[in-house]
Structure 1
Amino acid sequence: MSSVSVPGAVLDVDVQGDDGPAVVVLHGLTSSRRRDALLGLDVAARVPGVRLLRYDARGHGRSTGRTVVDEYTWPRLADDLEHVIESFFPGEQVHGLGGSMGTATLLHAALRDPARFASLTLMIPPTAWASRRAKAAEYEASARLVESSGVDAFVALAADAVPPPATHGRPDTVPDVDETLLPTVLRGAARSDLPSTAALATLDVPTQLLAWTDDPAHPLSTARTLHDLWPSSSLVVATTPDDVRAWSALLAEHVHRHDVAVRAGS
């Protein structure tokens, strides 16, 4: 394990592999590397022949953070991502894989510096644009719930939701965020949104979208809108756990295909 210091936090980082394309993995809100593994979302762990960098976002998992709401907004998380990439893969193009909040972080970073990314794989894109307003209010309400009743009340509330069919059989987990930080982390998400569709339409990075059905927090509408913005992108929709397990092979093919293209063009 390694770590990297960014303003206001120390990020816990894991790098594996000595050769091959550089792949940087980002998890979702309230998750971590450990929790993604429990949930079966560590799809990059099963991809051979790459240099794999995974890290816990600020305030999540083994990374530290402060109770400063703006430090958990998606543009600020993109700042962290840029620092991590330059610290471990200086001057290199990388392949980005992100789920939910990780997708948002990648998109903010890629718009700033598209040449830094050889490819993007965006898993379960979150609510965005018109659908983000209601989700932001939900996050604010959840932050107040944690403050008034504790994290157990927040977990119990989440347990009432019907899980997407593609996640059937996954174990119960709890947020991998310290209870003292969780309200701040949630409020940072509430203040965040994807870049505008007009801005995203200018992005020219090979992209595949991996989505699933029946999840109000990760509506298929976001993935479809992104797919429509990028005519050369691909969209794969999972409806079963087996479909999700197949994402590792899709990631491997996407990374190695576009790494070959990058090398051929250099």
Structure 2
Amino acid sequence: MIVSVPSAGPEVGLLQRPRATLAFDVAGVAGGPLAVHAHGSLSSRAHEDRAGLFDWTPLTATHRLARYDARGHGRSTGRAVAADYSYPALAADLLALCDHLSPDAPVTGIGASMGAATVLWAALARPERFDRLVLAIPAVAWGAREPRRAGLRAAATLVERRGTGTLGVAAKVSGPPAVLAEVPQYATEFDAAEHLVPAVLRAAAEADLPTPDRLRELPHPTLVLSWPTDPVHPPATARTLAAHLPNATLRTATTLAAIRSWGRTAAEFVAAPQA
């Protein structure tokens, strides 16, 4: 069931999903092609706006841009079950939103971190639903992800015992990657209900990107966006994605200004004629 909510600005609404309600908004060219953006783990639309890193509004010059809060994040609801936050489950939510907003035409899938994984798993499940992909800061994956899994499980247990404040303290101690030194709030603020955070973290501990062999199945023109000095989102993951996706372009930003220009870069990419 879809519930439309009147708004003087972007169209906003709620999408009812199994065991969750997704909050979304749509802005841009009325009747234009659709681009759908998925955010990172423990983030949200509002969190991204506050952090000021990712501004995808340049896409609205040619597209309708849909943004939504993943289940359990921001204004979306969810339950405390780790399986609900697996990448394939999140991909099913993304596909349902695409089916509602653009039932007859493929869409551009845009994702950051967990959102990039969501887009990839959705494209593998139903490749015909997408015309292009934009994958920003893909997280550490495959063999390199193994050391991170134990830390995510430990963080889940710590939140259960002491609350999400412990995550914020730990993030402030470690500090953001050097490339984000001017925006430390990006690394220290979380936008998910406290009772759901352990489930989200445990799901992340079990999650991974599709294998390189599976990536070769995706023919879509793909833009991969990376930044340095971040062990959680290392350039090596982005390079591997770009190497194995058949039609990928890799861009690496080394300054905050370059990161903040990604919206324009993505807008140029999706507006360019396909070869």
| Pairwise CA distance, 1:43 | 2.4
Describe the SS at the equivalent of 2:274.
helix
Equivalent residue for 1:57?
70
- Write out per-residue CA displacement over residues 37-61 of structure 1, whole angstroms, 9 at most, x where no aligned residue: 1122332123322101000000000
Equivalent residue for 2:203?
188
Q: Give 1:152-167 correspondences, 5 Å limit.
A: 152-167=165-180
Unaligned 5+ runs, structure 2: 1-11
Equivalent residue for 1:12?
23
Q: AA paired with 1:96?
A: G
Q: AA paired with 1:7?
A: P
Q: Distance in 1 between matches of 2:53 and 2:213?
A: 30
Is the 1:3–1:11 contact (alpha carbons within 8 Å) kept by the matching residues of 2?
A: yes
- Write out per-residue CA displacement over residues 57-87 of structure 1, whole angstroms, 9 at most, x where no aligned residue: 0000000000111000101001111111101
Which one of 105, 114, 124 corresponds to residue 101 of structure 1?
114
Is the 2:37–2:109 contact (alpha carbons within 8 Å) kept by the matching residues of 1?
A: yes
Describe the SS at the equivalent of 1:160.
helix
Describe the SS at the equivalent of 2:56.
helix
Report the TM-score, using the length of structure 2 for normalisation.
0.91
Is the 1:146–1:183 contact (alpha carbons within 8 Å) kept by the matching residues of 2?
A: yes
Report the TM-score, using the length of structure 1 for normalisation.
0.94
Equivalent residue for 1:3?
14
Q: Give 1:69-108 correspondences, 5 Å limit.
A: 69-108=82-121
Q: Distance in 1 between matches of 2:147 and 2:173?
A: 18
Percent identity of the aligned residues?
42
Q: Give 1:109-258 correspondences, 5 Å limit.
A: 109-172=122-185, 173-257=188-272
Equivalent residue for 2:58?
46
Is the 2:150–2:205 contact (alpha carbons within 8 Å) kept by the matching residues of 1?
A: yes
Is the 1:21–1:255 contact (alpha carbons within 8 Å) kept by the matching residues of 2?
A: no
Is the 2:220–2:247 contact (alpha carbons within 8 Å) kept by the matching residues of 1?
A: no
Unaligned 5+ runs, structure 1: none
Q: Distance in 2 between matches of 1:212 and 1:191?
A: 24
- Write out per-residue CA displacement over residues 187-243 of structure 1, whole angstroms, 9 at most, x where no aligned residue: 111111111111112211100110000101101110010111135311111111111
